[in-house]
Amino acid sequence: MVSTKRGRDTIHGYLFILPVVLGLLIFTIGPVIASFYISFTKYPILRSPEWIGVRNYVNMVSREPYFWQAVKVTVIYALTAVPLGIVGGFFLALLLNQRIKGMPFFRASFYMPTIVPAVASAVLWGWLLNPDYGLFNAGLKAMGLPTSRFLGDPSSALGSLVLMSLWGVGGGMIIYLAGLQGIPETFYEAAKIDGASSRQLFRFITLPLMTPTLFFGLVMGLIGAFQYFTEAFILTSGGPLFATYFYSLMVYERAFRFTQMGMAAAMAWFLLVIVLVLTLLVFRSSALWVFYETEVK
């Protein structure tokens, strides 16, 4: 009797998850394997793939003129936009976790930019950052500060995109706010009875209990940053002088402008390895700084 129930459950279980099983096989696992194979071929889409071994990978790191530039741009973006986004989002979440009047308005204000479609936000920011007629330079001029060419200058273009990304810190903020709400009030009460200062409350309760949430923000932020595409594609197409030549732009150009599918697949796999190694490093490091409640004895 037990075994028949188990057998029935197995059949039912697989029937229910059948869509995602098929979906993973057709749209994820199959393509991952195929793309690994393609990365070892010369494949100008119209002809059939021709096996060339590791030549794509060798050419990519040694001959591709802007490969390392793309890596550099993407890493710099990830290392600035992600930490700034986390600090900014966490800071806002702490502020918005207070009981004062008008809080729903403030929370909505900070969150709203995150729901603006990337295309609309790129079009808008392209205008805000316009060197001659944009609001930013008008503001800088009015305050007597030096203006900037923003996206038009190789030295400031990447920074401008980082600045733009900070408009979206509300997404992280909401997650951190939810995390702050999840900290039991009793922890604070108990600590206060023991005479803890508000600084100590933050250092020894809020911060450690928030580390899993911040960790989540860090991992998802890094994965997102390494795939940054739309804003750069619309606003700079990688320029000026390759200053915003993001990795995803490079893969896109290889695949869909030059139809070098083999090379593009190799680049995509290199990206996958970078993301995997980074995620692994972050996970490894998490033992040092992320606090899990199960550790409490």
Q: Which of 3, 4, 62, 98 binds other proteins (CB under 8 A)?
A: 98
Compute how many other C-beta atoms are within 10 angstroms of the C-beta atom of residue 129: 23
26 binds other proteins per the rule CB under 8 A: yes
Task: Give me the residue label for tokens 């590791």.
Answer: 54
Going by C-alpha positions, the residue among 86, 74, 72 that lies closest to residue 232 is 74
Least Å distance, CB 12 to other proteins, is 5
Q: Which stretch binds other proteins (CB under 8 A): 33-41, 57-65, 73-81, 154-162?
A: 33-41
Q: Which stretch binds other proteins (CB under 8 A): 23-31, 65-73, 79-87, 238-246?
A: 23-31
CA atoms of 229 and 119, how far apart (whole Å): 11
The residue among 87 and 119 lying less far from other proteins, judged by its C-beta, is: 119
The residue among 109 and 200 lying less far from other proteins, judged by its C-beta, is: 109
264: CB partners within 8 A, 6+ apart: 251, 254, 255
CA atoms of 163 and 186, how far apart (whole Å): 39
Q: Which stretch binds other proteins (CB under 8 A): 29-37, 54-62, 75-83, 189-197?
A: 29-37
Q: What is the DSSP letter of 51?
A: E
Least Å distance, CB 256 to other proteins, is 7
Q: Which of residues 105-164 bind other proteins (CB under 8 A)?
A: 105-113, 115-128, 133, 135, 138, 141-142
For helices 207-225 and 261-289, angle between their N-to-C axes, nearest 10 degrees: 170
CA atoms of 192 and 103, how far apart (whole Å): 25
Q: Which of 35, 59, 69, 147 binds other proteins (CB under 8 A)?
A: 35
Least Å distance, CB 50 to other proteins, is 15
Q: Which of residues 215-274 bind other proteins (CB under 8 A)?
A: 216, 219, 223, 226-227, 229-230, 233-234, 248, 251-252, 255-256, 261, 264-265, 267-269, 271-272
Q: What mask of x and - would describe binding to other proteins in positions 162 to 191, judged by CB under 8 A?
A: -----x--x---xx-xxx-xx--x------
Please give the backbone phi and psi of residue 250, each rounded to the nearest 5 degrees, phi first: -65, -45
The residue among 164 and 243 lying less far from other proteins, judged by its C-beta, is: 164
Least Å distance, CB 90 to other proteins, is 13
Continuous H helices in 229-260 = 230-235, 247-252
Q: Which of residues 61-80 bind other proteins (CB under 8 A)?
A: none
CA angle 92, 93, 97 (to 5 degrees): 120
Q: Which stretch binds other proteins (CB under 8 A): 56-64, 76-84, 150-158, 208-216?
A: 208-216
Tell me which H or E stretch contains 42: strand 41-42
Q: Do 84 and 158 meet the contact criterion of CB atoms below 8 Å apart?
A: no
